[in-house]
Homo-oligomer: A and B are copies of this chain.
Amino acid sequence: MPKASEEQRLDLINAQQRLRAEGRSAVVVVTGVDGSGRHRLVNALTHGLDTRGVKVHAWSREDAPGSDRPPLWKYWQGLPAQGQVAVYLDGWYAEPLDRALRGASPELSAIRQLEAQLIGHGSVLVKLWVERPLAEARRDLRKRLKREARDPTLSEQRVLAAEDGAQDQLDALRAHSEGWTMLSGKAPEVAADQAREALIAAMSAPTPPVPVPGHHRNRGAQALAALDMSAALSKKASNKQLPEAQAELARRIWAARARGQSTVVVLEGADAAGKGGVIRRLTDPLDARLFQVVPVAAPSDEERARPYLWRFWRHLPKAGQVLIFDRSWYGRVLVERVEAFCRRDEWQRAFDEINDFEAQLTDHGAVVRKFWLHISPEEQLKRFEDRAETPHKRHKLTDEDWRNREKWDDYRVAVEDAVARTHSAKAPWTLVPANCKRHARLAVIQTLIDALAPD
């Protein structure tokens, strides 16, 4: 294996220590076709690093976890914490590479988003492409398989059976994804040396300024003002309609499960808007194994150490489940924006990040529905007072809740923005007048019934 020089090792160790001191992480992607020498390069690259801070993610295509989740899920799982280095063999280029080998052009938008989020989080991203003409890679691969007396893996089979147009598609893939350091697969020693230098340089560079997206405040958006806040449902009507709707929803959820289709429900709303009550009516008629409720509170240290959406990616269940978020990733553009818990550029970037995240869910077949339960300030005050007076509800009421009331208008602007910028045909918002709890509960259930196919 090509070893690092004494000087390089010292540079690597120093760069790694600086990374740690700055609380940043590094992500290294090593790709190229099978037979180009990627594995040797990965080994060479980690030589000289303090291995306690390094994790290599190298699945073969057939072993990669989570094929029953959106494709990028498995890469999100492995994102490094602060001070750590994650080396991905192929990583999120595995699928585009496979497509290229089959002569097809790749879909890169989700990948670009992931890389942008890494950089936005302050991570060091190093992309290494080990270049080897397909014909030569094939020849070496055949030799290796013979020597190791084994069958080719799935990805090796793809290289051996690569289509005629594959080389062109590989070149196109590289050209359309940015920031590659090109290494020669013919000269492993040189490639290893260059790879280490690239890593040292990237880890030693100052944190680049984060690009701030242009912000278009939707001043015209008045979706909330247009709501009919007098919408209400009588107790009698609710007693009849709610159980019927619940039963119908349960039937459709069983049917979705049989199809292997997931449902992702996002519940947002001001304090005391009635999210808990809605969740209870949603879940009461459901078999406990059909759904999961994810209450979103303060992040753990493992969560804080990674790009924002990591804490949501990690909860994604296998296909066929109902996942209900009691507050959600919209916290970034609601509470975190209003309370300045994150930087301005962070919440401004979040709209695109969220749209991309939800598109990955729906592209994978999930039904995504987002609800804003809207109450008036007067109704909220009434509910707060009720909470203060009811012993078993008192824990729900905090000083923060009272403080949040003072920012009612800021939240209103944030909600209008969020809805305007993240509403889409496949992941639509439903704004629910929620001064009447019975009305709100039925409205949410009815919307979900309409979203799910009857069988």
Residues of A bordering B, CB below 8 Å: 1, 6, 9-10, 12-13, 17, 38-39, 42-43, 47-48, 50-56, 58-60, 63, 65, 81, 89, 148-151, 250-251, 254-255, 258, 276, 279-280, 283-284, 286-289, 292-293, 295, 297, 300-302, 318, 320-321, 326, 390-392, 395-396
Contact = CB atoms under 8 A, between A and B. Distances in A.
Contact of A302 (B58, B255, B289, B302): B302
Contact of A293 (B1, B51, B321): B51
B392 A287 contact: no
A254 B258 CA distance: 37
A163 to B, nearest CB: 24
Contacts of A52: 295, 297, 326
A255 B59 CA distance: 17
A6 to B, nearest CB: 6
A392 to B, nearest CB: 4
Contacts of A55: 292-293
Given A52-B326, A302-B300, A326-B52, A39 B287 contact: yes
Interface centre among A38, A287, A301 (most CB of B within 10 A): A287
Contact of A48 (B38, B286, B392): B392
Contacts of A287: 39, 58
A317 to B, nearest CB: 8
Contact of A326 (B13, B51, B65, B258): B51
Taking the full assembly, how many copies of this chain does it contain? 2
B58 A288 contact: yes
Contacts of A390: 6
A36 B237 CA distance: 32
A288 B42 contact: yes
A283 to B, nearest CB: 7
Nearest to A287: B39
A58 B419 CA distance: 33
A51 B395 contact: no
Given A17-B395, A301-B302, A392-B9, A39 B148 contact: no
A297 B295 CA distance: 30
B254 A51 contact: no
Contacts of A395: 13, 17, 50
Contact of A60 (B10, B48, B289, B302): B289
A59 B301 contact: no
Contacts of A149: 251
A1 B318 contact: no
A184 B152 CA distance: 57
Given A43-B288, A51-B279, A288-B58, A6 B391 contact: yes
18 contacts: A1-B284, A6-B390, A10-B391, A38-B288, A39-B287, A50-B395, A51-B279, A51-B293, A52-B295, A54-B293, A58-B289, A63-B318, A63-B321, A81-B300, A148-B250, A149-B251, A150-B251, A150-B258
A84 to B, nearest CB: 10
A59 B320 CA distance: 11
Contact of A392 (B6, B54, B280, B297): B6
A38 B39 CA distance: 50
Contacts of A58: 287-289
A56 B293 contact: yes
Contacts of A1: 284
A396 to B, nearest CB: 8
A58 B284 CA distance: 14
